[in-house]
Each structure stands twice: as C-alpha cells, then as structure tokens.
Amino acid sequence: MTVTKDVVFRVTEIHSHIQEKIFVHLYLSSPSVPRTTTIVDVGVAQTFQLAEKPETLGLIVMLFCSRQNDDDKQVTQYLGSSLLDLSQCQRQMYHLTIRDSSTRPPLQTGRVSLSLQEIPHIVTHLRCQNPGFVPIMFDAAEANLKLIAPFHNSGYTPIKQGLKLVHSPYYVNHMGITLPSGAFCLIPTESDQKEAAIKSHRERLVVSLRRHSMRAETFISNISEMLTGQ
C-alpha cells in the first residue's frame, strides 16, 4: 500500500439551479501547499501537499457565484458549503449537496461532484466543534448587549425608538450555527454622527430586506403594526 501525504482530487461537476457564473473554493483543515484552490472549469486534477500527516483531516468545499449587484458592480456571493471528513472517505466519487443553513429550513443552492484519487490514511474522526463552543458563543453574544441600548445604560441608542424592539445579539451563519451579532459595527447615534448612522443602518436594512425577499413597504407596515400593538 502506497503511503501518501497528498490529497489529489478532481472536481467533475459544479451546478446551481439558482445562480449562474458559479465556482468552487476548496481547502483542507490542516496547512497545505497550496493553502486553497479555486475551480471554475471541471475535469482538471488538483493536489494539496501536506507538510506532515495530521491526526484529523477535512476537505472544505464552498460554492460561490459571481454576479452584478444593484449598482452594476461585480460582487461575489456565498451559496453554501460542505465538509468531507477524509478519515471516512475512500478513493471514489462523491456527490455533495450544497446548502445555505442560515435559513430555516436550510436552502439547497447547488451541488458539487468530485473524485478523490489520493488521500492520506487518517484514522481519527474530524471534530468540527469544540465541546465548549456553545457556552462560549452565548457569553460573547450576551456581551454584545452592552453595546446596544436599552439593554445596557452605555449602549448605542437606536436611530428610532421603536427599533429597540428588533435588536438581537445573535445571528445564524451559513452553517446554521448561532453566533454573536456584529453589534460592534454599530455607529453611535449622537447628534454629530446621526446622519452617518442613519445612512449605515439604512444600507444594512436594505440588504437584509433583499436577502429575505421583503418589500420595504411590507417592512414598514409590519413595524408599524408592532409598535401600535395591532
């Protein structure tokens, strides 16, 4: 049996039923040369060279698309990811379903097929998550509340009083993991920065509405009903 430290694979299919101009970004959970690779055209063998054989090893597959935004600028949009635990894999073809798990239920966005041609002999299962991950993230999310009024007396106030009811210290990422929100990105709303704060909050709100396919009028109506108790 040939002992190898390399991971050799060939991507044979990249597909998405919701986007065009898609590409795949791949990397290993351990240092390698190259560290990452991006594939647009299928069929070419790719090699990750490991300096030494790790105890655990995963191959991360991420699907993206290239598109024009509303300002006609070229942007890259994340579509989802999948993970292969190479301790459980053989030299064969794998068909991966790509999902964006930031929504409930997760949204299937595409698929990637790849053939593993050479892989190191790995015996230990890949542990994707530290056992203390959940309480650590919860504590970090709770700490974010110190930056948001009225949850803390020195937190930033909302640009409109009613928005205090829709603040959240959490968000769900593409893998379905609840993480602390980006409260640290908020701009103070004191009088000398209020104009910049409103512009920043509005831009984020517009992005969020588009992400959830909600019209601005619907959002305004829903918030009005919430504030009036109707």
Q: What is the pLDDT along the chain (230 residues), one digit of tens a residue?
A: 455 689 999 999 999 988 888 999 999 999 999 999 999 999 999 999 998 889 999 999 999 998 887 677 788 888 989 999 999 999 999 999 998 887 778 888 999 999 999 999 999 998 876 777 778 878 888 888 787 777 778 777 766 666 555 667 777 776 777 777 766 566 666 667 778 777 877 877 787 787 677 888 888 888 887 777 65
Residue 1: predicted pLDDT: 43
Residue 223: predicted pLDDT: 80
Distance CA 120, CA 227 (A): 59
- Tell whether omega for the bond before 180 is within 30 degrees of 0, i.e. cis: no
Q: What share of the chain is helix, strand, coil (3-state, %, to 5)?
A: 25, 35, 40
Residue 114, CB-side half-sphere exposure with 13 Å CA sphere? 31
Distance CA 40, CA 53 (A): 28
Domains and CATH numbers, the chain: 6-118 (2.60.40.150), 133-228 (no CATH)
Distance CA 54, CA 84 (A): 15
Residue 190: predicted pLDDT: 67
Residue 113: predicted pLDDT: 97
Distance CA 9, CA 118 (A): 7
Place of tokens 């530290």: 130
**Is the backbone of residue 176 left (phi > 0), alpha (psi -120 to 50) or beta?**
left
Residues forming beta bridges with residue 100, ordered by sequence position? 107
Of 74, 55, 64, nearest to 121 by C-alpha is 55
